[in-house]
Amino acid sequence: MSGRAPEYGSDLMAEVLRALKVPYASLNPGASFRGLHDSLVNWNGGGPSILTCQHEKVAVGVAHGYAKATGRPMAVILHDLVGLLQSTMGLYYAFCDRVPVLALGGSGPADTSKRRPSIDWYHSANVQGNAVRDYVKWDDEPRSVAAVPESLIRAWNVARSGPAGPVYVSLDADLQEQELDGEIDWLGPGAFPPASPPTGDRDAMAALATALLDAERPVIVAGFAGRDPRCFELLPELADLVGSAVVDTGNRLSMPQPHDLNLTGVSGVVEESDLVLFLDCKDPEPVVTAVDSASRSTVSRLRPGTRLMSLGFSSLGVRGWSHDFGRLLAVSPDVTADTVAALPHLVDVVRTEVARRPPVDAPVGAAWRARLAELGRRQRRRWEEQRNADASLTPLATSTVAGATWDVVRDYDWVLTAGTSRGWARRIWNIDAAYRHPGDSLGTATQIGIALGVALAHRGTGRLVVDLQPDGDLMFDLGSLWVAAYYKIPMLTVMVNNRAYHNDWEHQEVVARQRGRPVENAYVGMEITGPAPDFSAIARAQGWWAEGPIEDPDKAAEVIGRAADVVASTGQPALVDLVTQPK
């Protein structure tokens, strides 16, 4: 707490945010938080630092990416009801992706006698948090200035406790602008540390360890475990101790690649397993089922009798409104714990059990390890054959985009934001550190905001932050490019530009074939051409260095190299527009 007494309610709000060490507050300006805005800029030295965004959804996206990269929340300030409604998609994806975000709303005034005619009425709601209550962890609307510190501190702790997620606190405009008669006593955040994470029942953890060691063909499916950087070291050790393959869902980066036991994307691994451990997986079903997109039917990829086990938050994060938790699977045991604490514990238990068991002539699971090596070699050969077959395609194949970008960034200390060029970056890049990639992108209209937040988190580190950016996603939020230029956030954006919403295009082709209708009409409502957006011109107009469009695969690495040099030497964001094949 500062030595200077707050003069207005918003000064106290800013003081609490500083005491919480909130680093940034992203926002799109709004009069309902003009008091707080003034305090962040002018009171007692200012802070947290403001980042102006062109849309509230982007403002949340920046906070999403920052939290993904650092594990720490930043604030988002949303203008009254209308700004909150604009932010809803961003908050929902933050909830699905288990990232902590401190969303603050200017609201009201709740005292209707102090409202301006018209605008303050239709910009306000009776209980504003109702708009997002189903997909935030907690919301509140303190009714007095004295109630604000406790509300903000609770929100901060709730957001960070597992499973992490966004919270929303509505700060009444009248409370912000109230002149204070005297100092308000409040206990600093140090008096309210977050609860320690659960490690899991001791007997259940022992059962997990025994089952893993006794299995002949174990597989570990890693979901959100990689949100703790220690997972990057612990998971390879665990896999080696028990002789298990690891399949990384992409929610977070959990395992080095290449690695002998990282079988992500390798067909046949799950099908041959006799035990699968889900490690902090919210919805593990995609790994263990195959989907017929035409009929929407699912078929298990597991052999009869394969045992399923789980270590993670289990039902703790399940809410009544969103079905983001997936299908109920028969797992036993289902150990409820936070892998931040439980994974180190599990590794310790396995180490102890291995030391206790009598020595054997062959390493644990020698036959399975040999089989995994064979499956890995076979899949890598298929990927290499695909890359070679695609290398001369014009426009570029997505494998060529990932390969050309890797040829450049491998010489830097690099970070990949969200996109992976349809998975190719995860297959062919050497991912050797936990900070290299905070996890895959989510739905369309989320990636550019998340990428900006990841780049903000690494600003000043000297790392080259790379965004493999889909065109459809950027078209939602073209104005967001200005954020990187204005705030000098170094970022290399390589457009993966197929000039279409091609994921949905493929669905239209499936339906047309199924119904015996013209497949050639699938482009209607899907293409982003005629005219094709000039992303280089758009980027230059907002202060970026940019080049393209490029369709020649032989020129891709050269242009990406020039852009990377600009980012590394000047700190200016740079964009290269690579036009790609439809798929």
**pTM listed for this prediction:** 0.96
Domain 391-579, architecture per CATH: 3-Layer(aba) Sandwich (3.40)
Question: Phi, psi (5° rounding) for residue 580?
Answer: -120, 170
Residue 235 tokens, joined = 């998971």
E strands within 412-460?
414-416
3-class DSSP state for residue 376?
helix
Indicate the Cα dihedral angle 566, 567, 570, 572, nearest 10°: 110
The runs of H, that is alpha helices, within 73-182 are 80-86, 88-96, 119-122, 148-160, 173-177
Helix, strand, or coil here: 419? coil
User: Counting runs of H as helices and runs of E as strands, what totals does the chain give?
Assistant: 22, 18
Phi and psi at residue 461, in whole multiples of 5°? Answer: -90, -15
Domain ranges of the chain: 9-191, 202-372, 391-579
Contact predicate 110/144, CB 8 Å: no
CA-nearest of 427, 424, 436, 431 to 400 is 424
Is there a contact between 504 and 526 (Cβ–Cβ < 8 Å)? yes
Spell out the alpha helix ranges (H) of 410-521: 424-428, 447-458, 471-476, 481-486, 502-515
Letter for the amino acid at 66?
Y
Note the Cα 259 to chain centre separation in Å: 23
Asked if 177 and 10 count as a contact pair (C-beta separation under 8 A), the reply is yes
The domain 202-372 belongs to what CATH superfamily? Answer: TPP-binding domain (3.40.50.1220)
Residues 62 and 51 sit within 8 Å (Cβ to Cβ): yes
Q: Just give the CATH number of 9-191.
A: 3.40.50.970
Given a contact cutoff of 8 angstroms between Cβ atoms, the answer to whether 536 and 546 are in contact is yes
Dihedral Cα 203, 204, 210, 214, nearest 10 deg: 150
- DSSP category for residue 470: E
Query: Alpha carbon 104 to chain centroid distance?
Result: 20
For residue 471, count other CB atoms closer than 10 A to its CB: 23
Which letter, b or e, does each residue of 359-393 get, where b requires 16 or more Cβ atoms within 10 Å of its Cβ?
eeeeebbeebbebbeebbeebeeebeeebeebeee
Taking every pair of C-alpha atoms in the chain, what is the biggest distance, in angstroms? 84
Number of neighbouring beta carbons within 10 Å of residue 322: 13
Q: CA–CA separation, 78 vs 141, rounded Å?
A: 14
Say if CB 485 and CB 437 are below 8 A apart.
Answer: no
Which residue is it, tokens 């970026």?
A: 544
Cα distances from 524 to residues 46, 508, 513, in angstroms, run: 51, 9, 15
> Is residue 560 within 8 Å of residue 404, measured between CB atoms?
yes
Cα separation values, 225 from 99, 128, 254, 312, 438, Å: 13, 34, 6, 8, 11
Same fold, 9-191 and 202-372: yes
From first to last of its 583 residues, the chain has per-residue pLDDT tens of 445 789 999 999 999 999 999 999 999 999 999 999 999 999 999 999 999 999 999 999 999 999 999 999 999 999 999 999 999 999 999 999 999 999 999 988 888 888 889 888 888 888 899 999 999 999 999 999 999 999 999 999 999 999 999 999 999 999 999 999 988 999 999 999 988 999 999 999 999 999 999 999 999 999 999 999 999 999 999 999 999 999 999 999 999 999 999 999 998 999 999 999 999 999 999 999 998 877 788 899 999 999 999 999 998 888 889 888 888 999 999 999 999 999 999 999 999 999 998 876 666 688 999 999 999 999 999 999 999 999 999 999 999 999 999 999 999 999 999 999 999 999 999 999 999 999 998 888 899 999 999 999 999 999 999 999 999 999 999 999 999 999 999 999 999 999 988 888 888 998 999 999 999 998 899 999 999 999 999 999 999 999 999 999 999 999 999 999 999 999 999 999 999 998 7
294 CB-contact burial (10 Å; exposed 0-12 / middle 13-18 / buried 19+):
exposed
Give the SS3 label for residue 313. coil
DSSP state of 111: S
Q: Please, what is the angle between helix 447-458 and helix 56-70, to 10°? A: 50
